[in-house]
Structure 1
Amino acid sequence: MDIVYLDGHYIPAGEARISPFDRGFLFGDSVYEVIPYFRGTGFRLREHIARLEHSLRAVRIRSGRDWYAILDRLVELNGGGNLSVYLQVTRGDSGSRSHAYDASLEPTVFACCAPVRDFASVAAKDVKGLAAIVTADLRWHRCDIKSTCLLPNILVLQQARDHQADEALLLRDGLVTEGTSCNIFLVRQGVVYTPKRSSEILGGITRELVLELADENGIQYQEADIDYDALMAGDEVWITSSTRGVLPVTRIDGQPVGDGEKGPLWARMFELLTRYQRRLMTGE
Protein backbone atom coordinates (compact mmCIF):
# COMPACT_ATOMS: atom_id res chain seq x y z
CA MET A 1 0.00 0.00 0.00
CA ASP A 2 1.28 3.50 -0.84
CA ILE A 3 2.41 5.44 2.22
CA VAL A 4 2.26 9.24 2.34
CA TYR A 5 3.56 11.78 4.83
CA LEU A 6 1.11 14.29 6.33
CA ASP A 7 2.00 16.62 9.20
CA GLY A 8 4.35 14.32 11.06
CA HIS A 9 2.63 11.01 10.28
CA TYR A 10 3.29 8.27 7.73
CA ILE A 11 -0.09 6.86 6.76
CA PRO A 12 -1.77 4.94 3.91
CA ALA A 13 -2.60 7.28 1.03
CA GLY A 14 -6.33 6.56 1.31
CA GLU A 15 -6.38 7.88 4.87
CA ALA A 16 -4.81 11.28 4.12
CA ARG A 17 -7.13 14.24 4.73
CA ILE A 18 -6.72 18.02 4.75
CA SER A 19 -9.16 20.76 5.72
CA PRO A 20 -11.13 22.51 2.96
CA PHE A 21 -9.95 25.71 4.65
CA ASP A 22 -6.30 24.88 4.05
CA ARG A 23 -4.83 27.84 2.17
CA GLY A 24 -3.06 25.55 -0.28
CA PHE A 25 -6.46 24.20 -1.33
CA LEU A 26 -8.27 27.56 -1.35
CA PHE A 27 -5.62 29.85 -2.83
CA GLY A 28 -2.70 27.76 -4.05
CA ASP A 29 -0.86 29.40 -1.13
CA SER A 30 1.87 26.78 -1.12
CA VAL A 31 5.15 25.70 -2.65
CA TYR A 32 6.47 22.31 -3.70
CA GLU A 33 9.39 20.24 -4.90
CA VAL A 34 9.63 17.09 -7.01
CA ILE A 35 12.72 15.06 -6.15
CA PRO A 36 13.70 11.83 -7.91
CA TYR A 37 15.27 9.03 -5.91
CA PHE A 38 17.21 6.46 -7.92
CA ARG A 39 17.88 3.16 -6.14
CA GLY A 40 16.78 4.91 -2.97
CA THR A 41 19.25 7.79 -3.32
CA GLY A 42 18.00 11.38 -3.70
CA PHE A 43 19.13 13.02 -6.96
CA ARG A 44 20.81 16.34 -6.05
CA LEU A 45 18.78 16.25 -2.83
CA ARG A 46 20.72 19.08 -1.18
CA GLU A 47 20.04 21.37 -4.15
CA HIS A 48 16.34 20.50 -4.17
CA ILE A 49 16.05 21.27 -0.45
CA ALA A 50 17.90 24.56 -0.92
CA ARG A 51 15.40 25.54 -3.64
CA LEU A 52 12.51 24.56 -1.38
CA GLU A 53 13.90 26.76 1.39
CA HIS A 54 14.25 29.64 -1.10
CA SER A 55 10.58 29.28 -2.08
CA LEU A 56 9.47 29.12 1.57
CA ARG A 57 11.42 32.27 2.46
CA ALA A 58 10.11 34.11 -0.59
CA VAL A 59 6.46 33.51 0.34
CA ARG A 60 7.09 33.74 4.12
CA ILE A 61 5.97 30.22 5.05
CA ARG A 62 7.73 28.86 8.12
CA SER A 63 10.12 25.96 7.64
CA GLY A 64 12.11 24.33 10.45
CA ARG A 65 11.72 20.66 9.51
CA ASP A 66 14.29 17.97 8.83
CA TRP A 67 13.38 17.50 5.18
CA TYR A 68 16.12 14.92 4.61
CA ALA A 69 14.85 12.62 7.36
CA ILE A 70 11.21 13.02 6.30
CA LEU A 71 11.85 12.19 2.65
CA ASP A 72 14.38 9.41 3.17
CA ARG A 73 12.00 7.65 5.55
CA LEU A 74 9.08 8.04 3.14
CA VAL A 75 11.10 6.51 0.31
CA GLU A 76 12.16 3.65 2.57
CA LEU A 77 8.54 2.96 3.58
CA ASN A 78 7.55 2.84 -0.09
CA GLY A 79 10.15 0.22 -0.90
CA GLY A 80 13.03 2.40 -2.11
CA GLY A 81 14.14 1.94 -5.70
CA ASN A 82 13.33 4.54 -8.34
CA LEU A 83 10.72 6.94 -7.01
CA SER A 84 9.67 10.52 -7.60
CA VAL A 85 8.87 12.28 -4.31
CA TYR A 86 6.35 15.13 -4.38
CA LEU A 87 6.65 17.46 -1.37
CA GLN A 88 4.14 20.28 -0.79
CA VAL A 89 4.15 22.84 2.01
CA THR A 90 1.09 25.08 2.41
CA ARG A 91 0.67 28.08 4.68
CA GLY A 92 -1.80 26.01 6.70
CA ASP A 93 -5.42 25.78 7.76
CA SER A 94 -6.82 29.23 8.62
CA GLY A 95 -10.28 27.92 9.63
CA SER A 96 -12.03 30.30 7.22
CA ARG A 97 -11.63 31.77 3.75
CA SER A 98 -9.76 35.06 3.93
CA HIS A 99 -6.96 36.53 1.82
CA ALA A 100 -5.30 37.84 4.97
CA TYR A 101 -3.42 35.35 7.11
CA ASP A 102 -2.03 35.04 10.59
CA ALA A 103 1.75 34.64 10.63
CA SER A 104 1.44 32.06 13.43
CA LEU A 105 -0.32 29.53 11.17
CA GLU A 106 1.17 26.05 11.29
CA PRO A 107 2.13 24.91 7.77
CA THR A 108 0.60 21.78 6.28
CA VAL A 109 3.27 19.39 4.97
CA PHE A 110 2.37 16.62 2.55
CA ALA A 111 4.59 14.22 0.60
CA CYS A 112 3.92 11.21 -1.60
CA CYS A 113 5.81 8.93 -3.97
CA ALA A 114 5.31 7.70 -7.51
CA PRO A 115 7.40 5.41 -9.73
CA VAL A 116 9.90 7.24 -11.94
CA ARG A 117 11.84 5.97 -14.93
CA ASP A 118 15.60 5.69 -14.54
CA PHE A 119 16.69 7.83 -17.51
CA ALA A 120 20.27 6.52 -17.15
CA SER A 121 19.08 3.04 -18.13
CA VAL A 122 18.03 4.17 -21.63
CA ALA A 123 20.52 4.21 -24.50
CA ALA A 124 20.87 7.49 -26.41
CA LYS A 125 19.74 5.79 -29.62
CA ASP A 126 16.44 4.87 -27.97
CA VAL A 127 15.59 8.40 -26.76
CA LYS A 128 12.76 9.90 -28.79
CA GLY A 129 13.08 13.42 -30.15
CA LEU A 130 10.29 15.68 -28.90
CA ALA A 131 7.98 18.04 -30.75
CA ALA A 132 7.24 21.42 -29.18
CA ILE A 133 5.24 24.56 -29.82
CA VAL A 134 6.08 28.11 -28.76
CA THR A 135 3.38 30.05 -26.97
CA ALA A 136 2.93 33.04 -24.68
CA ASP A 137 4.23 32.78 -21.12
CA LEU A 138 1.07 33.54 -19.09
CA ARG A 139 2.62 32.99 -15.65
CA TRP A 140 3.27 35.52 -12.89
CA HIS A 141 6.64 37.26 -12.61
CA ARG A 142 8.04 35.24 -9.68
CA CYS A 143 8.73 32.02 -11.52
CA ASP A 144 11.81 31.49 -9.33
CA ILE A 145 9.33 30.48 -6.59
CA LYS A 146 8.17 26.90 -7.12
CA SER A 147 4.54 27.66 -6.41
CA THR A 148 1.66 25.21 -6.80
CA CYS A 149 -0.27 27.81 -8.88
CA LEU A 150 0.27 25.84 -12.09
CA LEU A 151 -2.90 26.58 -14.08
CA PRO A 152 -0.99 28.51 -16.83
CA ASN A 153 1.44 25.58 -17.19
CA ILE A 154 -1.46 23.14 -17.43
CA LEU A 155 -3.25 25.20 -20.09
CA VAL A 156 -0.23 25.64 -22.37
CA LEU A 157 0.77 21.98 -22.06
CA GLN A 158 -2.74 21.04 -23.13
CA GLN A 159 -2.39 23.51 -26.00
CA ALA A 160 0.76 21.65 -27.05
CA ARG A 161 -1.05 18.33 -26.92
CA ASP A 162 -3.90 19.75 -28.99
CA HIS A 163 -1.21 20.36 -31.66
CA GLN A 164 0.19 16.82 -31.30
CA ALA A 165 3.29 18.18 -29.54
CA ASP A 166 5.02 16.99 -26.38
CA GLU A 167 5.99 20.31 -24.79
CA ALA A 168 5.24 24.05 -24.87
CA LEU A 169 8.16 26.49 -24.85
CA LEU A 170 7.24 29.84 -23.34
CA LEU A 171 7.85 33.32 -24.73
CA ARG A 172 7.69 36.52 -22.66
CA ASP A 173 8.50 40.01 -24.03
CA GLY A 174 9.98 38.40 -27.12
CA LEU A 175 12.34 36.10 -25.19
CA VAL A 176 12.23 32.38 -24.51
CA THR A 177 11.94 31.61 -20.80
CA GLU A 178 11.44 27.87 -20.22
CA GLY A 179 8.99 25.02 -20.81
CA THR A 180 5.95 24.00 -18.80
CA SER A 181 8.11 22.02 -16.34
CA CYS A 182 11.59 22.17 -17.83
CA ASN A 183 14.49 24.44 -18.74
CA ILE A 184 15.64 25.11 -22.31
CA PHE A 185 19.02 24.83 -24.01
CA LEU A 186 19.94 25.90 -27.54
CA VAL A 187 23.04 24.85 -29.49
CA ARG A 188 24.45 27.05 -32.22
CA GLN A 189 27.83 26.45 -33.90
CA GLY A 190 29.04 24.25 -31.06
CA VAL A 191 28.10 26.63 -28.24
CA VAL A 192 25.34 25.84 -25.74
CA TYR A 193 23.03 28.72 -24.78
CA THR A 194 20.40 28.83 -22.03
CA PRO A 195 18.25 31.73 -20.77
CA LYS A 196 19.78 33.80 -17.98
CA ARG A 197 18.75 33.10 -14.38
CA SER A 198 16.11 35.60 -13.28
CA SER A 199 12.77 35.78 -11.50
CA GLU A 200 11.18 34.92 -14.87
CA ILE A 201 12.42 31.31 -14.79
CA LEU A 202 12.73 28.55 -12.23
CA GLY A 203 16.34 27.75 -11.45
CA GLY A 204 16.31 24.11 -12.53
CA ILE A 205 18.38 21.59 -10.57
CA THR A 206 19.27 19.64 -13.71
CA ARG A 207 19.87 22.91 -15.57
CA GLU A 208 22.60 23.78 -13.08
CA LEU A 209 24.06 20.27 -13.31
CA VAL A 210 24.22 20.48 -17.10
CA LEU A 211 26.17 23.74 -16.83
CA GLU A 212 28.52 22.14 -14.27
CA LEU A 213 29.12 19.18 -16.58
CA ALA A 214 29.68 21.46 -19.55
CA ASP A 215 32.26 23.44 -17.57
CA GLU A 216 34.05 20.30 -16.39
CA ASN A 217 34.19 18.81 -19.89
CA GLY A 218 35.22 21.79 -21.99
CA ILE A 219 31.82 22.41 -23.59
CA GLN A 220 31.34 26.10 -24.30
CA TYR A 221 28.18 27.64 -22.90
CA GLN A 222 26.61 31.03 -22.32
CA GLU A 223 23.65 32.21 -20.28
CA ALA A 224 22.03 34.62 -22.70
CA ASP A 225 18.75 36.02 -23.98
CA ILE A 226 17.20 33.81 -26.66
CA ASP A 227 14.50 35.18 -28.94
CA TYR A 228 12.16 33.24 -31.20
CA ASP A 229 14.29 33.65 -34.33
CA ALA A 230 17.39 32.38 -32.51
CA LEU A 231 15.43 29.42 -31.18
CA MET A 232 14.21 28.48 -34.65
CA ALA A 233 17.71 28.87 -36.13
CA GLY A 234 19.35 26.59 -33.57
CA ASP A 235 21.32 23.51 -34.56
CA GLU A 236 19.97 21.66 -31.51
CA VAL A 237 17.41 22.34 -28.77
CA TRP A 238 17.20 20.42 -25.47
CA ILE A 239 14.98 20.47 -22.42
CA THR A 240 16.01 19.36 -18.92
CA SER A 241 14.25 18.34 -15.73
CA SER A 242 15.15 16.23 -12.71
CA THR A 243 12.75 13.41 -13.59
CA ARG A 244 13.40 13.40 -17.35
CA GLY A 245 17.10 14.21 -17.57
CA VAL A 246 18.11 15.91 -20.82
CA LEU A 247 15.87 15.36 -23.86
CA PRO A 248 16.26 16.52 -27.47
CA VAL A 249 13.61 18.66 -29.17
CA THR A 250 13.66 17.88 -32.89
CA ARG A 251 10.61 19.86 -34.10
CA ILE A 252 9.29 23.28 -33.05
CA ASP A 253 6.08 24.77 -34.45
CA GLY A 254 6.06 22.06 -37.09
CA GLN A 255 9.59 22.89 -38.32
CA PRO A 256 12.66 20.67 -37.89
CA VAL A 257 15.35 21.78 -35.46
CA GLY A 258 18.61 21.70 -37.43
CA ASP A 259 18.44 18.59 -39.58
CA GLY A 260 15.52 17.26 -37.57
CA GLU A 261 17.63 14.60 -35.82
CA LYS A 262 19.08 14.29 -32.34
CA GLY A 263 22.29 16.33 -32.28
CA PRO A 264 25.85 15.24 -31.40
CA LEU A 265 26.22 17.72 -28.54
CA TRP A 266 22.96 16.48 -27.01
CA ALA A 267 24.33 12.91 -27.25
CA ARG A 268 27.51 14.05 -25.47
CA MET A 269 25.57 15.74 -22.67
CA PHE A 270 23.23 12.76 -22.37
CA GLU A 271 26.28 10.55 -21.87
CA LEU A 272 27.76 12.88 -19.24
CA LEU A 273 24.48 13.20 -17.34
CA THR A 274 23.71 9.49 -17.32
CA ARG A 275 27.27 8.72 -16.22
CA TYR A 276 26.84 11.18 -13.34
CA GLN A 277 23.61 9.51 -12.31
CA ARG A 278 25.11 6.01 -12.42
CA ARG A 279 27.95 7.18 -10.18
CA LEU A 280 25.40 8.65 -7.77
CA MET A 281 23.44 5.40 -7.68
CA THR A 282 26.53 3.29 -7.04
CA GLY A 283 27.84 5.59 -4.32
CA GLU A 284 30.91 6.72 -6.25
Structure 2
Amino acid sequence: MAIAYLNGKIISSNDPVLPIDERGHQFGDGVYEVIRVYNGRVFMMPEHMERFFKSAEAIKLNVGKSSEEIMAIVDDLIERSGLQDCDVYMQATRGIAPRNHLFPNVPASISMTVKPSKHVNEEVRESGAKIKLLPDERWQNCWIKSLNLLPNILAKQEAFESGALEAVLIRDGYITEGSSSNFFIVKNGEILTAPATNHILHGITRIAVKEMALELDIPFREQAFTSDELLAADEAFLTSTTQEILPVVEVDGQKIGNGKPGEVVKKLYELFLEKM
Protein backbone atom coordinates (compact mmCIF):
# COMPACT_ATOMS: atom_id res chain seq x y z
CA MET A 1 0.00 0.00 0.00
CA ALA A 2 1.06 3.62 -0.43
CA ILE A 3 2.52 5.06 2.74
CA ALA A 4 4.02 8.38 3.80
CA TYR A 5 6.33 9.95 6.38
CA LEU A 6 6.42 13.50 7.69
CA ASN A 7 8.89 14.66 10.35
CA GLY A 8 8.91 11.44 12.34
CA LYS A 9 5.28 10.39 11.84
CA ILE A 10 3.95 7.59 9.64
CA ILE A 11 0.84 8.83 7.84
CA SER A 12 -1.41 8.05 4.90
CA SER A 13 -0.25 9.54 1.62
CA ASN A 14 -3.74 11.04 1.30
CA ASP A 15 -3.71 12.87 4.66
CA PRO A 16 -3.95 16.70 4.39
CA VAL A 17 -0.86 17.58 6.42
CA LEU A 18 0.95 20.43 4.64
CA PRO A 19 1.14 23.61 6.79
CA ILE A 20 0.52 26.86 4.89
CA ASP A 21 3.86 28.25 6.10
CA GLU A 22 5.91 25.29 4.89
CA ARG A 23 8.78 26.78 2.86
CA GLY A 24 8.65 24.08 0.20
CA HIS A 25 5.06 25.17 -0.42
CA GLN A 26 5.80 28.91 -0.19
CA PHE A 27 9.13 29.14 -2.01
CA GLY A 28 10.07 25.76 -3.45
CA ASP A 29 12.84 26.06 -0.85
CA GLY A 30 14.05 22.49 -0.76
CA VAL A 31 15.51 19.47 -2.53
CA TYR A 32 14.24 16.01 -3.41
CA GLU A 33 15.06 12.55 -4.70
CA VAL A 34 13.10 9.81 -6.47
CA ILE A 35 14.39 6.30 -5.81
CA ARG A 36 13.37 3.02 -7.41
CA VAL A 37 12.90 -0.25 -5.53
CA TYR A 38 13.04 -3.55 -7.42
CA ASN A 39 12.01 -6.79 -5.70
CA GLY A 40 12.41 -5.11 -2.33
CA ARG A 41 15.92 -3.87 -3.14
CA VAL A 42 16.68 -0.16 -3.32
CA PHE A 43 18.45 0.71 -6.58
CA MET A 44 21.73 2.65 -6.21
CA MET A 45 20.82 4.03 -2.79
CA PRO A 46 24.33 5.36 -1.93
CA GLU A 47 24.40 7.40 -5.15
CA HIS A 48 20.96 8.85 -4.43
CA MET A 49 21.99 9.77 -0.90
CA GLU A 50 25.18 11.45 -2.09
CA ARG A 51 23.24 13.57 -4.58
CA PHE A 52 20.53 14.40 -2.03
CA PHE A 53 23.03 15.74 0.48
CA LYS A 54 25.07 17.56 -2.17
CA SER A 55 21.89 19.31 -3.34
CA ALA A 56 21.01 20.24 0.25
CA GLU A 57 24.52 21.57 0.87
CA ALA A 58 24.35 23.62 -2.34
CA ILE A 59 21.28 25.52 -1.08
CA LYS A 60 22.71 25.80 2.47
CA LEU A 61 20.07 23.45 3.88
CA ASN A 62 20.93 21.46 6.99
CA VAL A 63 18.83 18.31 6.62
CA GLY A 64 19.26 17.54 10.32
CA LYS A 65 19.74 13.81 9.78
CA SER A 66 22.62 11.69 8.56
CA SER A 67 22.60 9.65 5.38
CA GLU A 68 22.36 6.51 7.51
CA GLU A 69 19.32 7.85 9.37
CA ILE A 70 17.58 8.74 6.11
CA MET A 71 18.30 5.30 4.66
CA ALA A 72 16.91 3.64 7.80
CA ILE A 73 13.66 5.60 7.42
CA VAL A 74 13.43 4.56 3.75
CA ASP A 75 13.96 0.89 4.62
CA ASP A 76 11.33 1.09 7.36
CA LEU A 77 8.78 2.72 5.05
CA ILE A 78 9.33 0.12 2.33
CA GLU A 79 8.84 -2.68 4.87
CA ARG A 80 5.69 -1.06 6.26
CA SER A 81 4.26 -0.59 2.76
CA GLY A 82 4.60 -4.26 1.90
CA LEU A 83 5.54 -3.21 -1.65
CA GLN A 84 8.28 -5.04 -3.53
CA ASP A 85 8.34 -2.78 -6.59
CA CYS A 86 7.85 0.85 -5.67
CA ASP A 87 8.99 4.44 -6.01
CA VAL A 88 10.29 6.33 -2.98
CA TYR A 89 9.92 10.11 -3.11
CA MET A 90 11.75 12.11 -0.46
CA GLN A 91 12.17 15.81 0.06
CA ALA A 92 13.73 18.15 2.58
CA THR A 93 12.71 21.79 2.90
CA ARG A 94 13.93 24.66 5.03
CA GLY A 95 11.07 24.05 7.44
CA ILE A 96 7.90 25.68 8.71
CA ALA A 97 8.06 29.39 9.49
CA PRO A 98 6.20 32.63 8.71
CA ARG A 99 6.84 33.73 5.13
CA ASN A 100 10.15 35.60 4.88
CA HIS A 101 12.82 35.37 2.21
CA LEU A 102 15.61 35.09 4.79
CA PHE A 103 16.43 31.67 6.23
CA PRO A 104 14.44 30.87 9.39
CA ASN A 105 16.03 29.33 12.47
CA VAL A 106 13.84 26.21 12.45
CA PRO A 107 14.47 22.49 11.82
CA ALA A 108 14.29 21.16 8.29
CA SER A 109 11.07 19.46 7.26
CA ILE A 110 11.51 15.94 5.84
CA SER A 111 8.78 14.05 4.02
CA MET A 112 8.64 10.81 2.04
CA THR A 113 6.16 8.66 0.19
CA VAL A 114 6.33 5.04 -0.94
CA LYS A 115 3.99 4.18 -3.80
CA PRO A 116 3.72 1.40 -6.41
CA SER A 117 6.18 1.93 -9.24
CA LYS A 118 5.16 3.86 -12.33
CA HIS A 119 5.82 1.88 -15.48
CA VAL A 120 6.44 3.09 -19.02
CA ASN A 121 3.79 2.04 -21.52
CA GLU A 122 5.10 -1.19 -23.04
CA GLU A 123 4.14 -0.12 -26.56
CA VAL A 124 6.30 2.99 -26.18
CA ARG A 125 9.17 0.93 -24.80
CA GLU A 126 8.93 -1.50 -27.73
CA SER A 127 8.48 1.04 -30.53
CA GLY A 128 10.39 4.01 -29.08
CA ALA A 129 9.44 7.49 -27.91
CA LYS A 130 8.93 10.80 -29.68
CA ILE A 131 10.56 13.98 -28.38
CA LYS A 132 10.27 17.71 -28.98
CA LEU A 133 13.23 20.11 -28.95
CA LEU A 134 12.72 23.27 -26.88
CA PRO A 135 14.92 26.06 -25.51
CA ASP A 136 16.46 25.35 -22.11
CA GLU A 137 15.01 28.20 -20.04
CA ARG A 138 16.03 26.84 -16.64
CA TRP A 139 18.47 28.44 -14.21
CA GLN A 140 22.23 27.92 -14.17
CA ASN A 141 22.39 25.22 -11.47
CA CYS A 142 20.40 22.35 -12.91
CA TRP A 143 22.71 19.89 -11.15
CA ILE A 144 20.90 20.75 -7.89
CA LYS A 145 17.79 18.60 -7.58
CA SER A 146 15.66 21.41 -6.22
CA LEU A 147 11.89 21.72 -5.92
CA ASN A 148 11.90 24.60 -8.43
CA LEU A 149 10.66 22.75 -11.50
CA LEU A 150 8.31 25.19 -13.25
CA PRO A 151 10.43 25.53 -16.45
CA ASN A 152 10.65 21.72 -16.62
CA ILE A 153 6.90 21.38 -16.18
CA LEU A 154 6.12 23.94 -18.88
CA ALA A 155 8.49 22.21 -21.32
CA LYS A 156 7.05 18.78 -20.54
CA GLN A 157 3.51 20.06 -21.05
CA GLU A 158 4.38 21.67 -24.38
CA ALA A 159 5.93 18.41 -25.55
CA PHE A 160 2.86 16.45 -24.43
CA GLU A 161 0.51 18.82 -26.24
CA SER A 162 2.48 18.27 -29.44
CA GLY A 163 2.22 14.48 -29.13
CA ALA A 164 5.73 13.89 -27.77
CA LEU A 165 6.70 11.99 -24.63
CA GLU A 166 9.51 14.29 -23.58
CA ALA A 167 10.94 17.76 -24.15
CA VAL A 168 14.67 17.75 -24.88
CA LEU A 169 16.31 21.06 -24.14
CA ILE A 170 18.85 23.20 -26.01
CA ARG A 171 21.14 25.81 -24.42
CA ASP A 172 23.63 27.91 -26.43
CA GLY A 173 23.17 25.66 -29.44
CA TYR A 174 23.83 22.37 -27.61
CA ILE A 175 21.48 19.75 -26.22
CA THR A 176 21.59 19.52 -22.44
CA GLU A 177 18.98 16.97 -21.29
CA GLY A 178 15.27 16.23 -21.11
CA SER A 179 12.78 18.02 -18.88
CA SER A 180 12.91 15.01 -16.52
CA SER A 181 15.61 12.83 -18.03
CA ASN A 182 19.18 12.65 -19.27
CA PHE A 183 19.62 12.32 -23.02
CA PHE A 184 22.02 10.32 -25.22
CA ILE A 185 22.76 9.66 -28.87
CA VAL A 186 24.62 6.80 -30.54
CA LYS A 187 26.80 7.37 -33.61
CA ASN A 188 28.96 4.68 -35.18
CA GLY A 189 28.56 2.51 -32.09
CA GLU A 190 29.66 5.24 -29.67
CA ILE A 191 27.42 6.76 -26.97
CA LEU A 192 27.51 10.54 -26.55
CA THR A 193 25.89 12.56 -23.79
CA ALA A 194 26.26 16.08 -22.43
CA PRO A 195 29.06 16.50 -19.85
CA ALA A 196 28.05 16.51 -16.19
CA THR A 197 28.29 20.28 -15.76
CA ASN A 198 26.03 22.59 -13.74
CA HIS A 199 23.65 22.66 -16.73
CA ILE A 200 22.38 19.09 -16.30
CA LEU A 201 21.18 16.89 -13.50
CA HIS A 202 23.79 14.26 -12.69
CA GLY A 203 21.40 11.38 -13.17
CA ILE A 204 21.67 8.14 -11.25
CA THR A 205 20.58 6.00 -14.20
CA ARG A 206 23.06 8.03 -16.27
CA ILE A 207 25.79 6.72 -13.95
CA ALA A 208 24.47 3.17 -14.43
CA VAL A 209 24.55 3.56 -18.23
CA LYS A 210 28.14 4.78 -18.14
CA GLU A 211 29.14 1.76 -16.05
CA MET A 212 27.22 -0.69 -18.26
CA ALA A 213 28.74 0.77 -21.43
CA LEU A 214 32.18 0.01 -20.00
CA GLU A 215 31.02 -3.50 -19.11
CA LEU A 216 29.68 -4.05 -22.65
CA ASP A 217 32.78 -2.51 -24.24
CA ILE A 218 30.71 0.25 -25.85
CA PRO A 219 32.60 3.57 -26.23
CA PHE A 220 31.07 6.27 -24.00
CA ARG A 221 31.96 9.93 -24.41
CA GLU A 222 30.74 12.95 -22.46
CA GLN A 223 30.66 15.59 -25.16
CA ALA A 224 28.16 18.29 -26.05
CA PHE A 225 26.28 17.77 -29.33
CA THR A 226 23.88 19.81 -31.44
CA SER A 227 20.40 19.17 -32.80
CA ASP A 228 21.97 18.53 -36.23
CA GLU A 229 24.12 15.82 -34.69
CA LEU A 230 21.03 14.36 -33.05
CA LEU A 231 19.24 14.19 -36.39
CA ALA A 232 22.29 12.48 -37.93
CA ALA A 233 22.56 9.94 -35.08
CA ASP A 234 22.01 6.21 -35.51
CA GLU A 235 20.13 5.91 -32.21
CA ALA A 236 18.97 8.03 -29.30
CA PHE A 237 17.67 7.27 -25.84
CA LEU A 238 16.82 8.88 -22.54
CA THR A 239 17.25 7.75 -18.97
CA SER A 240 15.60 8.47 -15.63
CA THR A 241 14.75 6.63 -12.43
CA THR A 242 11.13 6.03 -13.45
CA GLN A 243 11.63 5.58 -17.21
CA GLU A 244 14.87 3.59 -16.85
CA ILE A 245 16.45 3.36 -20.34
CA LEU A 246 14.02 4.33 -23.08
CA PRO A 247 14.70 4.44 -26.84
CA VAL A 248 13.88 7.62 -28.76
CA VAL A 249 13.00 7.23 -32.44
CA GLU A 250 11.58 10.59 -33.54
CA VAL A 251 12.38 14.25 -32.92
CA ASP A 252 10.01 16.99 -34.09
CA GLY A 253 8.50 14.63 -36.66
CA GLN A 254 11.85 13.46 -38.08
CA LYS A 255 13.08 9.90 -37.69
CA ILE A 256 16.29 9.11 -35.84
CA GLY A 257 18.24 6.44 -37.69
CA ASN A 258 15.78 3.98 -39.19
CA GLY A 259 13.01 5.12 -36.86
CA LYS A 260 13.26 2.03 -34.66
CA PRO A 261 15.04 1.26 -31.36
CA GLY A 262 18.67 0.41 -32.05
CA GLU A 263 20.94 -2.40 -30.93
CA VAL A 264 22.99 -0.35 -28.46
CA VAL A 265 19.99 0.76 -26.40
CA LYS A 266 18.59 -2.78 -26.52
CA LYS A 267 21.84 -4.20 -25.12
CA LEU A 268 21.95 -1.58 -22.38
CA TYR A 269 18.36 -2.23 -21.32
CA GLU A 270 18.83 -6.01 -21.32
CA LEU A 271 21.85 -5.66 -19.03
CA PHE A 272 19.97 -3.16 -16.86
CA LEU A 273 17.17 -5.71 -16.35
CA GLU A 274 19.72 -8.36 -15.35
CA LYS A 275 20.97 -6.08 -12.59
CA MET A 276 17.54 -5.49 -11.05
Question: Which TM-score bucket, shorter chain as reference?
Answer: over 0.9
Within the alignment, does 1:108 sit opposite 2:109 as a pair?
yes
Give the alignment's TM-score, normalised by structure 1. Answer: 0.92
Gaps of 5+ in 1: 278-284
Q: Distance in 2 between matches of 1:116 and 1:206?
A: 16
**1:242 shift after superposition:** 1.5
Q: Which runs of 4+ in 1 moved over 4 A?
A: 122-126
Q: Is the 8 A contact 1:33 1:86 kept in 2?
A: yes
Q: Distance in 1 between matches of 2:162 and 2:268?
A: 29
Within the alignment, does 1:73 sit opposite 2:72 as a pair?
no
Q: Give me the CA root mean square deviation.
A: 1.8
Gaps of 5+ in 2: none
How many aligned residue pairs are there?
A: 273
**1:16 shift after superposition:** 4.8
Aligned AA (2:8): G
Per-residue CA deviation, residues 210-243 of structure 1 (Å, 9 max, x unaligned), is 0011112211111001111111111100000112
Per-residue CA deviation, residues 107-143 of structure 1 (Å, 9 max, x unaligned), is 1111012211578xx9999623000010011111110
Q: Is the 8 A contact 1:129 1:247 kept in 2?
A: yes
Aligned AA (1:216): E
Residues 89-128 of structure 1 aligned to structure 2 (within 5 Å): 89-94=92-97, 96-102=98-104, 104-117=105-118, 127-128=126-127
Could you tell me which residue of structure 1 aligns to residue 189 of structure 2? 190
Could you tell me which residue of structure 2 aligns to residue 24 of structure 1? 24
Q: Is the 8 A contact 2:127 2:260 kept in 1?
A: no
Q: Distance in 2 between matches of 1:86 and 1:31?
A: 11
Could you tell me which residue of structure 2 aligns to residue 2 of structure 1? 2
Q: Distance in 2 between matches of 1:126 and 1:68?
A: 31
Could you tell me which residue of structure 2 aligns to residue 148 of structure 1? 147
Give the alignment's TM-score, normalised by structure 2. Answer: 0.94
Residues 34-53 of structure 1 aligned to structure 2 (within 5 Å): 34-53=34-53
Given candidates 79, 85, 90, the residue that maps to 1:87 is 90
Aligned AA (2:229): A
Within the alignment, does 1:266 sit opposite 2:269 as a pair?
no
Q: Distance in 2 between matches of 1:20 and 1:163?
A: 35
Using the aligned pairs only, state the percent identity.
Answer: 37
Q: Is the 8 A contact 1:82 1:118 kept in 2?
A: no
Could you tell me which residue of structure 2 aligns to residue 11 of structure 1? 11
